[in-house]
Amino acid sequence: MDIEKAFGEVLKIVRKKAEMSQEELAHNSSLDRTYISLLERGKRKPTINTVFSIAKALQILPHELIKMTEKTIK
């Protein structure tokens, strides 16, 4: 599995676990909802700033998203 798809899967799982819609996550992270959707589908590569914004909105540490993504790739 490539990194983009793995990150997307992790993002979707964590977002749903936080009981947050794509719209809410977008608003809380100052990103567009369509961009969140593209990330979740593995169609876009997140920047480090994006990872930090999303992590803050989800109230987790950025390295947790990266660590979960790494485990998903393996």
What pLDDT does 6 receive? 97
Residue 64, domain extent? 3-73
Are 8 and 41 spatial neighbours (Cβ–Cβ below 8 Å)? yes
For residue 1, what pLDDT band results from cuts at 50, 70 and 90?
A: confident
CATH code of the domain covering residue 51: 1.10.260.40
Q: Mind listing the pLDDT tens digit for each residue in 3-28?
A: 999 999 999 999 999 999 999 999 99
Domain count, the chain: 1
Which is nearest to 47 in space by CA: 70, 31, 67?
31
pTM of the prediction? 0.93
